[in-house]
A and B are shown apart, each in its own frame.
Chain A
Amino acid sequence: MQKVSEYIRIALIIVILLILLFPFFWIISSSFKSFREIMTMEPSLLPREFTLKHYEFIFFTRYPSKDFPQNVVNSLIVGISTSLIANFLAVVGAYGLSRYPFPGSETFSRMMLIVYVLPGIPLLLPIYSLLARMHLTDNLFGLILVYVAINTPFVVWFLKSFFQAIPVELEEAAKVDGASSFRAFVSITLPISLPGIITTFMYVLVTTWGEYSLAQIIITSDWKKTVPLGLATYMTDQYIEWGPLLAATTLVVIPVILLFMPFTKQFISGLSSGALKD
């Protein structure tokens, strides 16, 4: 009986995976199809005219304005820095809000969310002109700064509820043992809230990794472009370079998944140790 339900469960998961991952499968498969196949033949699951040309192209035909490896490096720099800074600031902030509540701190933390819900579009021009005044346009640091500003409030709000859910008694116990309150927080609460922090880290990383609107307005120089900007150069109105676009997209997924693998593992260990078991 136990076994049967396990099989049903696995079968269900596989069906779900098939549906969710099909578009990605299509991207991978088509990235090996020849230009002729993509443009003129009936669609098929697997390539009929297998070619590695598109991969060759994105690695070796590098123009100043079409430099995919450089795009990936830029995106990694921006994504990881943003995520680290935003999470650091947010852990500190959320710690303050949850452990030293002050009159109005609850309202305050909710205001954080309001920052997050602002519609981005009409803010594009003002943000750009602000950065221009600080001479930070066309600058990866300028982009990181904006991303941090946009993401941190949300992370604070998210982490604060995580910290609050953890009984203060645990820290109190450590304090009795002689640890300072911050030390107690770092050694007790932080490890327990790791699933939360990893979630926000991943969240910030991926949203900045795929963010287009702000990046396109802030970055102009081709060698500073992030992945979405680089990909956009393959799909101009009247000429979609399907092959390179799909090959690049396939490769874009790899570094992120690689980054996630160890984190998901940690995330799991957070789960298995029973995050909130007393």
Chain B
Amino acid sequence: MKKLTVLLLIVMLISIMSFGKTTIVFWHHESPAHRVAAFQKIINMFEKENPDIKVVQQVVPWGDAWTKTLAAIEAGTTPDFQFSIPELTITAYQANAIIPVDDIIQEIDNKYQYIKSQLAPYKIEGKYWGVPIWTMPMVLIYRPSVLEKYLGTKEPPKTWNELLLAAQKITLLSEKEGNTIYGIGLTAGNNLCTQEQVYTIMANLGVRFFDENGNLTFNSPETLRAVEFFKDLYRFSPPGSTGWAWGEIEMNFSAGKIAMMPYFGGLQKRFYDLGNYDLDAVLQPYPIDGMKGNLIYPNDVHIFKSAVDKGHLEAVKKFLVFLMRPDVNAILTAQMEPGSFVPVTKAAQESEHYWNDPVIKTFKHMNEVIIEATSYGTLYGFETGSAVNLAIGSISGANVLAEMIQNVVTGKMGVKEAVNWAEEKMKSFMK
């Protein structure tokens, strides 16, 4: 009898102790070593301030994020929360696996003031389903030395015409010298990278995938004109880019084979590591009758229902608000991938923690441009300010834009035919 009591006491003690310490698990998709290290640094800081909470990061590379999320939802093995982009959050929402986060957004907004445009993609049926953490705007990055050599000025192009002319001039002049530098870097691979670049050009004409009611408005004169321009520009892009993804375009740019390209600012870390400072950026050039605009990929966190079931919600909330504290957010952005990952709150964008980062400081002008680009950025399917048609998840996932571009640049289809094809393909996902 006595033994039993002791045993019971021990069991109770253990359960109280483990009850007192909550362990929360999250997935992210940033597998490079320095990004993992940044996450760990933040976790350590948080655990120090909150000794009752233990945080575990698990890395699921981007390529597997969708399959793993679907599988975990199906089997009920989801983590507490997950880093995400709008399409993935929509998928999780459609699977009925996540909870609305309006209260967390409200709290962060009160404390640090969200850039409002960054909330748009997560608003579905009047509620928010993702907490924006950082964002990724595209800008036109370029090598000032190449511009100076072939254009006689370090001043980058500002309009579409100037861009096309500059790309042509650099390509042809350098070709004559026997060491071709391609004026522009555009990919036409069957992947997201291509979609991001072509959408940046579409954004200059205000292309909208859907209207406010979620009706498809893709096949428009603006889209045709943007694709036509991509095709024109593509002539001065390196051969072989129909087979490219990010890896190839980055190596080509780093090796000095490309003068300019619409891209994320993240290459600055590699240039910094290489001790090369021949890199700058400008807002994506636009046609005279067009507008400033570029793709922006907001990144968020969505919270799985399993977090509520396990009683982890409060701990998760605490951690997310912690992530947005400007000094912490600077680690998540400036340290993790400077120039690619950009703060989404006013407080963090203006914080000295961000601007004092050595890489950010070195490429100060470039990063000012990048911050400016966050206010002009849009994302395909979310142009109207909220998620109006959830088919965008499939449209983006199936690489409809990329396939359309491949059909154009390989000569398989004319521009008009390809845009028609894309519109039909998109329709098939809306059934």
Question: Interface residues, chain A, CB within 8 Å of chain B?
Answer: 35-36, 39-41, 57, 61, 63-66, 124-125, 128-129, 131-133, 137-138, 216-217, 220-222, 232-241, 244
**Which residue of chain A has the shortest Cβ distance to B57 in the bound complex?**
A65
Chain B stretch 52-67: residues in CB contact (< 8 A) with chain A: 57-64, 67
Instruction: Kindly state the separation between the CA atoms of A233 and B246 in the bound complex, as whole angstroms.
Output: 15
Measured CB to CB, the closest approach of chain A to B430, in angstroms, equals 24
Q: List chain B residues, Cβ under 8 A from A129.
A: 71, 74-75
A236 to B64, Cβ gap below 8 A?
A: no
Find B36's partner among A35, A66, A216 (CB 8 Å cutoff): A66
A129 to B58, CA, bound (A): 20
CA distance A39 to B27 in the complex (A): 30
B396 at the interface (CB under 8 A from A): no
- Quick check: B274 and A36 within 8 Å, CB to CB? yes
- As a 0/1 sequence over residues 252 to 275 of chain B, the CB contacts with chain A under 8 angstroms (1 = contact) are 001110000000101000100110
Given contacts A40-B255, A129-B74, A238-B340, contact A222 B58 (CB under 8 A): yes
* Cβ < 8 Å to A, chain B residues 10-32: 27, 29-32
User: Which residues from B are CB-within-8-Å of A125?
Assistant: 67, 70-71, 74
CA distance A234 to B31 in the complex (A): 7
Select from chain A the residue with minimum beta-carbon distance to B31: A233
Contact (Cβ within 8 A) B254 A66: no
Q: How many A-B residue pairs have CB under 8 A?
A: 105
Taking a contact as CB atoms closer than 8 A, the residue among A40, A131, A220 that contacts B60 in the complex is A220
Give min CB distance, B352 to chain A, whole Å. 27
Residues of A within 8 A of B29 (CB): 236
Closest chain-B Cβ to A234's Cβ sits at a distance in Å of 7
A225 to B60, CA, bound (A): 11
Could you tell me the distance between the alpha carbons of A232 and B67 in the complex, rounded to whole angstroms?
15
The one of B71, B246, B256 in contact with A238, judged by C-beta atoms closer than 8 angstroms, is B246
B311 on the A face (CB < 8 A): no
Additional A-B contact list (9), CB under 8 Å, known A63-B36, A217-B68, A236-B30: A39-B251, A64-B40, A65-B31, A65-B36, A220-B27, A220-B58, A221-B58, A232-B31, A232-B64
Given A35-B273, A39-B251, A232-B63: A217 touches B36 (CB 8 Å cut-off): no
Whether B67 lies near A65 (C-beta < 8 A) is no
Partner of B255, one of A39, A131, A221: A39
**Sampled A-B contacts (10; CB under 8 Å):** A35-B274, A36-B274, A40-B276, A63-B36, A66-B36, A132-B74, A132-B76, A222-B58, A237-B245, A238-B246
* Distance in angstroms between the alpha carbons of A174 and B29 in the assembled complex: 61
Give A48 to B70 CA distance when docked, in angstroms: 46
Q: Are A216 and B67 in touch, CB under 8 angstroms?
A: yes
- Distance (Å) between the CB of B269 and the closest chain A CB? 9
* Chain B residues, CB < 8 A from A39: 251, 254-255, 270, 274
